[in-house]
Structure 1
């Protein structure tokens, strides 16, 4: 079933929703009043909404990133053309697709630099991933550590297998050795593993451990927590520890340099982004910190993230210095 686009239908829509409706109409061939589109475009607000939509959509036409192609295909398929769909539902679906496209066009830059590969033979090394590149390290026992951008770790393999993660994020693929457990120290906790694949993320006020395969035990803070594959452990300063389920494909997102948020506060999202970037986002206003964001974003381009957030939330972007960007409340 298709819906005829009429003046009466457009009258009840905002410029953004109406632009989404027009896009669906043009892609689907739904009937329309003669001359109605040109008449609608004469209004400045409508013309601005249409221009923004066209810019976002055209970014997908020219994209050479597979993530762009997947998102565009999903957006194009979002129009529910069936007999049970009401006009309001499919307009809302179209508007949601446009929001996804607009955010993705700004938040998904070209793929990050390939990992720098290092082969460690000596214990006691301090390892830093900088210069915008992820560092993949083969540890002395053959285990692998992938150190995210702007992350720092210390490795001690002289008596046991120990890594201390001082900042940032690291993905561990541990070689099995039941006689010599592998441990990671981070923010006063110790993550103990025998042979598995897991991620550890350190931020100024939080610790996150995600388990993809095998098993780990997290000790410290007056308690011990055992994770199963597909679970994540989060410890925030001043709050109870919690364990939650990982989103499907969480490890693949990590390897692609992506983060996925589901109604996270802006403070929570920025803390995760800051752990993977040399340029830091700063919030000083609790009203900004409490705003919420959802979606899948690239981790290593904080300025694009900030600019996009300013398009959809009441915030403005202030570049304090080359290494710091502040998000301020916009009245």
Structure 2
């Protein structure tokens, strides 16, 4: 059955429901043709009928205008409008039908409003950061090229669609703060944590408190200094790092310890808008060090050349490492 039918289809279903209360054979044939025209028609009609049945007891107790409001002409038969007469029944049915249609339509209207999408997205461009303050007192700091999806009705639920964000969460044991990343979830246990989501993996680092990672096949509790990396195949790696390095991009530093250069280039692009192209085979090379992203690009490039011991050719925001 449809959760909430298309409004136009709902209107048709209500009209048929009212017509069938006093239908002749031709009407039933037309109704059958309407049902056969679209499988969704049957779902819509059943939804209307079910709600009408639910409201029937209330309608039976309702008071409708009496037939006395329609006085007969003097030359009409005196018994033409006596109780039990067909005209009186039709008048009573007409008011009941109007009330029924309004009630059923009202139920659907409330249902449709309650099911409206209350989510909204906040995104940043490459090299841009943005702070989002939530109604519960929590705060999200977005790195560049990042998108999060929030819910107007639930400040404790956030989806990270892409990019990187640092969460400073106001802890509430009765209402845990949850970050969704695809089919994976992060549940706050009172904490500050950093999340990176790309099309290849999810990375989580805890700077304060604890976070419960809930994957498709495994649940892991992470404490301050713990880092988790999960790939698309469900493989999980746990490592440790200094708390000060977790989410350090917010302070203009990218801190690495034996990190593949492919990840470094992703982080550099998010934080600065610089696209760094690596020679074939270099993306898997491990890198340790601190990249200062503050200052002009020439200064960033000079520092990076020293760190990776290679020449970098710059063409605006497109940089490339020269192969040796």
- The TM tier, using the shorter chain, reads 0.5 to 0.7
Change (3 A) 1:248 1:160: closer
8 Å CA contact 1:169, 1:200 repeated in 2: yes
Q: 1:294 aligns with which of 288, 291, 301?
A: 288
Task: Give the 3-state SS of the residue equivalent to 1:175 in structure 2.
Answer: coil
TM-score, with structure 2 as normaliser: 0.55
- Contact (CA 8 Å) 2:184, 2:215: kept in 1 or not? yes
1:256/1:291 Cα in 2 relative to 1: closer, same or farther (>3 Å)? same
Aligned with 2:209 (options 203, 210, 214): 214
Where does residue 224 of structure 2 map in the other structure? Answer: 229
**Corresponding residue for 2:275?**
280
Is residue 148 of structure 2 the alignment partner of residue 158 of structure 1?
Answer: no
Aligned residue for 1:272, secondary structure, equals helix
Gaps of 5+ in 2: 1-117
Alignment of 1:118-133 (within 5 A): 124-130=119-125, 132-133=127-128
Give me the TM-score of the superposition, normalised by structure 1. Answer: 0.54
CA contact (8 A) 2:119 2:151 kept: yes
Deviations 1:146-176 (A, max 9, x none): 1112221111142462111122211111112
Higher-Rg member (1/2) = 2
Could you say what secondary structure the match of 2:119 adopts? coil
1:200 is displaced (CA, Å) by: 0.7
Q: Specify whether residues 249 and 160 from structure 1 end up closer, same or farther in structure 2 by C-alpha distance, changes over 3 A only.
A: closer
Q: Structure with the greater relative contact order (CA < 8 A, sep ≥ 6): 1 or 2? A: 1
State yes or no: 1:182 paired with 2:177: yes
- Unaligned segments of structure 1, at least 5 residues: 1-122
SS of the equivalent of 1:276 reads helix
**Per-residue deviation, residues 35-62 of structure 1 (Å, max 9, x unmatched):** xxxxxxxxxxxxxxxxxxxxxxxxxxxx
- Alignment match, 1:87: none
Q: Counterparts of 1:160 and 1:132 in 2: how far apart (Å)? A: 26
SS in structure 1 at match of 2:171: coil
Distance 2:302 2:183 in 1: 35
Correspondence for 1:245: 240
User: How many residues align structurally?
Assistant: 206
The answer for the alignment partner of 1:145 in structure 2 is 140
Residue 326 of structure 1 pairs with residue 309 of structure 2? no
Q: For 1:221, what is the secondary structure of its paired residue? A: coil
Q: Aligned partners of 1:189 and 1:141: how far apart in 2?
A: 23
Distance in structure 2 (CA, Å) of the matches to 1:178 and 1:197: 15
Which of residues 161, 167, 182 is equivalent to 2:162?
Answer: 167
Q: Is the 8 A contact 1:230 1:246 kept in 2?
A: yes
Change in CA separation of 1:252 and 1:276 when aligned onto 2, cut-off 3 Å: closer
Local SS of the residue matching 1:326: strand
Q: Tell whether the 8 Å contact from 2:121 to 2:148 is kept in structure 1 after alignment.
A: yes
Matches within 5 A, 1:1-331: 124-130=119-125, 132-159=127-154, 161-237=156-232, 240-251=235-246, 253-283=248-278, 285-286=280-281, 288-299=282-293, 308-310=303-305, 313=308, 315-318=310-313, 324-330=318-324
SS of corresponding position for 1:268 = helix
Structure 1 distance, partners of 2:307, 2:149, is 40
Q: Which runs of 4+ in 1 moved over 4 A?
A: 299-316
